Amino acid sequence: MNEKKFKILMTLGVIGLILGSWGMGSRLIFGHASVNYGSYVPWGLWVVFYLFFVGLTAGAFLITIMTYMFRVERLKTVGRLSAFTVLVALVCELIFITLDLGHMERLYRIMISPSFTSLMTWFVIFTNLMLIIYLLESYFLLREDLIAWANDPAKKGRRIYRLLALNQTHYGIRDQNRDKSRVRFLSIISLPAGLLFYGTNGAFFAILQNRPIWNSAMTPLIFITAALLSGGALITALIYAFHEDEELVRPLGQVILYLLVIFTLQEVLQFFVGYQSKITGIVTSLNLIAFGRYWWTFWIIHLLFGTLIPLILLIKSPEQPRAVAWACFLIVITFVAVRFNFLIPDLAIYKLDGLELTFFHPRLRTNYVPSVMEWLVSLWIISFGLIAFLAGSRWLPIHAPAGEGAKKDPATWCNILDSQAVDGQGGTHHA
């Protein structure tokens, strides 16, 4: 990424952080007084963004698995970027969900008195497990360069790199091999942890028998596809923007195209089966998505900008990395609408006839419009994530050293998979 783009994005991030501070202050001082969700729509914008960020981790998760577990050499150039992306997205997701709690100071209770019958407990366990895995994995991936940068007299901020390297000054072949083994081990355990993490996320909603659309075996499957689609699109756009590896963007674009088709098909099936079932709750929820107050988020944002235009770009210009990156970018930013339309309509139906005609209060209504405070808090967290990512990409060695995994064969999936090779045993020694 060039200096100009970096400065623009950083400025946007700082402005977002400043504007969002008002909302964060309000949330931390006055609690949930200024939110617009209530008891009948108990989750709002923050849970939407939480789901959004959960999905964003998936693409990067797959890349790290393929790079370090299955040793797909060609993807190694983006391995560190992927691990760091997972880490930032997980942190953003955790901030969103923590702020959504009525008593966030009691979050520790999930650790000291967990209920293992609750999928929320399992979700917290897997989220923390993923966080720890990716924190360690990122550290072991970066350690060699952190030590090198700390030893480089020409490098600014050497003390910080020394601190991040835990005061280590020497990095030999033994350390390199040990770190490689550690990264591989962490990647191996991240596979089941990640699958359980995304699976639990879908099951979290699917088990609720009183929720007409969620209560389906399709839900976890849709969640996994949605996560792979949005996460894959994010990592593809990031590779184009930050890594300038256009060769890798093309095959990833093909994968995104297939995922987009599968996801759209799943959505069509959900609507078809739902309408054909003629079950009041399901039909009402689907009607809310398609013809309710937020119809435009479904038809215009999701279907037009998030599905149709990316499909055209990916089908018409699969060889143009710029077009592929734009398609992926559109998929990512419009995916908030997908999460919104998954969460809110199913909550926004009265569970009992007549409930809407009794005991009037804004907290006991099903028409939900996010408040300014909710938007500002979201802006703060997203800006924080953006700044963290930009700072990492600029001041941390998250881009692989030149030559690492950089076989410049024409990048197709056949070539990428053929490039699996046992890593070289070369090491560096920094005195």
Partner 1 sequence: MGQMLPKEDLLVRMQRDLRRANTKDPTKVQWAMVIDLAKCVGCHACTIGCVAENKLPPGVVYRPVLEEEVGTYPNVRRRFLPRPCMHCMNPPCVKVCPVKATYKTVQGVTVVNYKRCIGCRYCLVACPYAARTSDFGEWYTRETPEIPGKIVGRKAAAKGYEDKPAVEYGKTWPDRGHGSPVGNARKCHFCLHRLAIGMLPMCVTTCIGRATFFGDRNDPDAFISEQLASPRSFRLKEELGTQPSVVYLK
Residue window 88-117: x/- pattern of binding to partner 1, with contact defined by CB under 8 A:
------------xxxxx-xx-xx--xxx-x
Rounded Cα–Cα distance for residues 217 and 168 (Å) = 50
- Kindly state the number of chain residues that form the binding site for partner 1, as judged by CB under 8 A: 47
Q: How far is the CB of 330 from partner 1 (least distance, A)?
A: 31
Nearer to partner 1, 14 or 107 (CB): 107
Q: Residue 121's closest CA among 211, 212, 203, 37?
A: 203
Rounded Cα–Cα distance for residues 267 and 307 (Å) = 11
Q: How many residues are listed for the chain in this entry?
A: 431
118 binds partner 1 (CB under 8 A): yes
SS3 category, 79? helix
The residue from 12, 22, 71, 121 that contacts partner 1 (CB under 8 A) is 121
Residue window 208-247: x/- pattern of binding to partner 1, with contact defined by CB under 8 A:
xxxx------------------------------------
**Whether 23 contacts 380, CB under 8 Å:** yes
Rounded Cα–Cα distance for residues 33 and 267 (Å) = 36
355 binds partner 1 (CB under 8 A): yes
Stretch that binds partner 1, among 143-151, 154-162, 313-321, 361-369 (CB under 8 A): 361-369
The residue from 10, 191, 218, 364 that contacts partner 1 (CB under 8 A) is 364
Q: Residue 398's closest CA among 118, 4, 64?
A: 64
25 binds partner 1 (CB under 8 A): no
Distances (CA, A) of 415 to 55, 262, 354, 400, 409: 27, 24, 62, 20, 7
**Whether 86 contacts 55, CB under 8 Å:** no
278 binds partner 1 (CB under 8 A): no
Residue window 33-62: x/- pattern of binding to partner 1, with contact defined by CB under 8 A:
x-x--xxx-xx-------------------
Kind and range of the H or E element at 228? helix 218-238
359 binds partner 1 (CB under 8 A): yes
Rg of the chain taking only CA atoms, in angstroms: 23
Q: How far is the CB of 20 from partner 1 (least distance, A)?
A: 21
Which parts of 309-348 interact with partner 1 (CB under 8 A)?
A: 347
Q: Residue 298's closest CA among 254, 261, 268, 258?
A: 268
Nearer to partner 1, 209 or 425 (CB): 209
354 binds partner 1 (CB under 8 A): yes
Distances (CA, A) of 426 to 81, 116, 180, 416: 22, 46, 12, 22
Can you tell me which residue has the tokens 């309509």? 345
Nearer to partner 1, 6 or 43 (CB): 43
Nearer to partner 1, 217 or 431 (CB): 217
Binding site for partner 1 (CB under 8 A): 30-33, 35, 38-40, 42-43, 100-104, 106-107, 109-110, 113-115, 117-121, 124, 207-211, 347, 350-355, 357-359, 361-364
